[in-house]
């Protein structure tokens, strides 16, 4: 099978994960890398093979590629996806796909195959909970709560050149760190009907203009959820997501799933994976990318397509509207 020719634009931290996964893929291979700091592109090219460029424009002028992996700052995801579309190139982009409603309206008009990296949908722990719910024994979900409490200090923002500013990051704890957990709430509870949120900057006043903390009360079709995200904690704690059902309470904490049944029985399973990601935000990037390339080859819908993540992005934007 001939591999899909892919390229990576933006060669910072998360690009290392994409490059590693492409290096292991049976379906695709990275043939080029671009970054405004050419030495970073060169480092990936030397490690995984391919050519390095100092800009996306230069890469596209010199390479024939089938798919572009976008690993750049948030505000560049849309214009780079549009540039790929102009050349008929498929797109696999890091989250978030957009930073505001105007970008989202434009993003939804993309006509090439698009995949968004919500990799936690592919975690074994998530699959186990989906199977439990589908089997019906827990009964209807009555409510939920989710907590993301991580640590991000000033250098994380000041040394990046783009984080911490609304115009380039689009937000803080919600759009950058907690969006994956919000996505899982939507996976379990369906589209949200409304959201009331408040946001604050507690520990980096004068350093960033985005929120380090956001809480929300979210009303879904058949249940309500409490949501809390903060980057003002002292460590990167495991994410906690809990579903209260008619016959059980199901809790995902990190990659462990605990179920307490109404009759008093309890069970616990550890789904820790070995992958390219960090344990506290999931290690399923390879599975997500492999499924994207399988769908690309077969012409079948990808679970993380534009329409597939629409409910999550709409809810995120509603939460920011409420908080602001």
Which pairing describes strands 224-230 and 141-149: parallel, antiparallel, or unpaired?
parallel
What DSSP state is assigned to residue 163? Answer: T
Q: Does domain 4-112 have CATH number 3.40.50.720?
A: yes
- Domain ranges in the chain with CATH number 3.30.360.10: 120-278+306-323
For each of the chain's 324 residues, which pLDDT tens digit applies?
A: 799 999 999 999 999 999 999 999 999 999 999 999 999 999 999 999 999 999 999 999 999 999 999 999 999 999 999 999 999 999 999 999 999 999 999 999 999 999 999 999 999 999 999 999 999 999 999 999 999 999 999 999 999 999 999 999 999 999 999 999 999 999 999 999 999 999 999 999 999 999 999 999 999 999 999 999 999 999 999 999 999 999 999 999 999 999 999 999 999 999 986 555 555 445 699 999 999 999 999 999 999 999 999 999 999 999 999 999
Tell me how far apart the alpha carbons of residues 130 and 90 are, in angstroms, rounded to a whole number.
Answer: 29
- Burial of 313: CB neighbours in 10 Å, binned 0-12, 13-18, 19+: buried
What is the Cα gyration radius of the chain? 20
- Domain ranges in the chain with CATH number 3.40.50.720: 4-112
Tell me how far apart the alpha carbons of residues 226 and 228 are, in angstroms, rounded to a whole number.
Answer: 7
Whole-model pTM: value is 0.96
Fold held by 120-278+306-323: Dihydrodipicolinate Reductase; domain 2 (3.30.360)
Tell me how far apart the alpha carbons of residues 259 and 251 are, in angstroms, rounded to a whole number.
Answer: 6
């Amino acid at each position: 099978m001939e591999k899909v020719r892919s390229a990576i634009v933006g060669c910072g931290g998360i690009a290392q994960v994409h490059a590693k996964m492409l290096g292991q893929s049976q379906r695709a291979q990275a043939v080029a890398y671009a970054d405004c700091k050419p030495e970073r592109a060169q480092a990936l090219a030397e490690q995984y093979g391919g050519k390095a460029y100092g800009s996306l424009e230069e890469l596209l002028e010199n390479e024939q590629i089938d798919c572009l992996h976008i690993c750049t700052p948030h505000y560049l995801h849309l214009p780079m996806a549009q540039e790929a579309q102009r050349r008929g190139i498929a797109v696999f982009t890091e989250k978030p796909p957009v930073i505001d409603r105007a970008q989202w309206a434009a993003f939804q008009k993309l006509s090439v195959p698009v995949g968004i990296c919500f990799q936690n949908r592919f975690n074994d722990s998530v699959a186990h909970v989906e199977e439990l719910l589908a089997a019906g024994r827990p009964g209807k979900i009555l409510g939920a709560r989710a907590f993301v409490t991580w640590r991000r200090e000033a250098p994380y923002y000041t040394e990046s050149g783009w984080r911490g500013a609304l115009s380039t990051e689009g937000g803080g704890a919600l759009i950058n760190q907690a969006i994956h957990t919000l996505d899982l709430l939507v996976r379990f509870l369906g589209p949200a009907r409304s959201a009331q949120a408040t946001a604050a900057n507690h520990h980096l006043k004068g350093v960033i203009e985005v929120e380090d903390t956001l809480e929300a009360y979210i009303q879904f079709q058949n249940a309500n959820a409490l949501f809390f995200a903060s980057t003002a904690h002292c460590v990167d704690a495991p994410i906690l997501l809990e579903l209260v059902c008619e016959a059980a309470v199901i809790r995902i904490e990190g990659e462990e799933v605990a179920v307490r049944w109404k009759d008093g029985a309890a069970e616990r399973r550890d789904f820790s994976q070995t992958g390219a990601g960090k344990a506290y935000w999931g290690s399923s990037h390879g599975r997500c990318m492999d499924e994207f390339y399988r769908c690309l080859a077969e012409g079948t819908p990808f679970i993380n397509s534009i329409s597939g993540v629409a409910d999550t992005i709409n809810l995120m934007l509603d939460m920011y509207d409420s908080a602001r």
